[in-house]
Amino acid sequence: MTWSRWGKCAVRFPPQFQTLGYCLPTPESGQAAIRAFLDKSGLTANDPIADLPKFRETVSRDAKLRRSLLSGNGMGLQKGQRRGISLGQYVRRRNGVSLGGSGSLQNMLQRSFGARSFAGFWRYWNPIFGYYLGKYIYSPTRRFAPRWLALLVTFLICGGLHDIVTLLFRGSTQFLFTLWFFFFSLGVMLGEKAGLNMAQRPFWFRAAIHTTYLSICLILAISAQRLFLR
């Protein structure tokens, strides 16, 4: 199977990438494969047109990745490969630049607040911390627990780690971060249950929704803290 040009194509890339002239010849490959390929290249469907040269370079350089996309394998990122991915590879995939590279903070903020869902927000937020949480908390828990429980445990441990840092520096903690991250996890699950998808919305709209989500979770955490820990 080869790449197809515009014409009789079942699935096309998002509008931002149409100048590449590439599409998928079979619907079986699907949008999931497109999203996975964009993710592997360090880009998202919401990235600006300025990133097209980098995307084209990735397509041209990695023939194996191209074949994997077209075969519908999600780029061949099987469970064993996900476990074996390095921190540097993970950061580049999520951030679009190498670990410690110039523009990493800007990319993180743009991609997080420009994500199409709450789950997508956390997929791009603080990729270094996310790498270790995924590797040592989420993935091991997911082996014996349903996804919602693994997600909840991961967020609670993440919040607990923030509270431990607060305890070390201040000598006390009121578990605000644990509560905050608990509500973060609920927001992610509710967003997925509701099928939240802001991919077609402008950046300012997505950023406003994410900011509102973070703020509401903080208000709920402070309220719960005052209710249970006063």
What confidence tens digit (pLDDT) does each residue in 87-134 have? 888 888 888 888 778 888 899 999 999 999 999 999 999 999 999 999
Split at pLDDT 50, 70, 90, the class of 42 is low
- Look up residue 206 and give its two tokens: 């997505």
Task: Give yes or no for residue 178 having a pLDDT over 60.
Answer: yes
| Residues 6+ away with beta carbon under 8 Å from 24 | 4, 9, 10, 11, 12, 30, 33, 34, 69, 70
Both 151 and 207 in a single domain?
Answer: yes
Cα-only R_g, the chain? 19
Same domain, 118 and 28: no
User: Are 147 and 65 members of one domain?
Assistant: no
Between 220 and 99, where is the model more confident? 220
Beta carbons of 55 and 40 less than 8 angstroms apart: no
User: What's the mean pLDDT in 132-147?
Assistant: 93
Please give the pLDDT value at position 96. 83
> Do residue 56 and residue 147 come from a single domain?
no
Name the token pair of 189. Answer: 């699950």
Provide the residue range defining the domain that includes 106.
89-230
Model confidence band, residue 195 (pLDDT cutoffs 50, 70, 90): very high
Same domain, 104 and 159: yes
User: Are 113 and 136 found together in one domain?
Assistant: yes
Provide mean pLDDT across the span 136-145: 93
Residue 122, domain member (yes or no): yes
Q: Which amino acid is present at 140?
A: P
One domain for residues 56 and 99: no
Percentage with pLDDT > 90 across the chain: 46
Q: Please provide the average confidence, as pLDDT, over all residues in the chain.
A: 74
Q: Give the rounded percent of residues in the chain with a pLDDT score beyond 70.
A: 63
Higher pLDDT, 7 or 168: 168
69 in the same domain as 123: no
Q: What is the DSSP string of 72-112?
A: TSGGG--HHHHHH--HHHHHHHHHSS-TT-TTHHHHHHHHH
Confidence label for 205 from pLDDT (cuts 50, 70 and 90):
very high
Residue 114's pLDDT is: 94
Are residues 202 and 226 located together in one domain of the fold?
yes
The one-letter code for the residue type at 75 is: M
Which of 77, 103, 130 is the endpoint of a domain? 77
In this structure, the answer to whether residues 106 and 212 fall within a common structural domain is: yes
Q: Which residues pair with 179 in a beta bridge?
A: none
| Dihedral pair phi/psi, residue 200, rounded to 5° | -90, 0
Quote the number of domains for the chain: 2
- Is pLDDT above 90 for 188? yes
End-to-end alpha carbon distance in the chain: 64
Alpha-carbon distance of 181 to 63, in angstroms, equals 40
Question: Are 94 and 172 found together in one domain?
Answer: yes
Distances (CA, A) of 181 to 17, 141, 174, 187: 35, 17, 14, 10
- Asked if 67 and 96 sit in the same domain, the reply is no
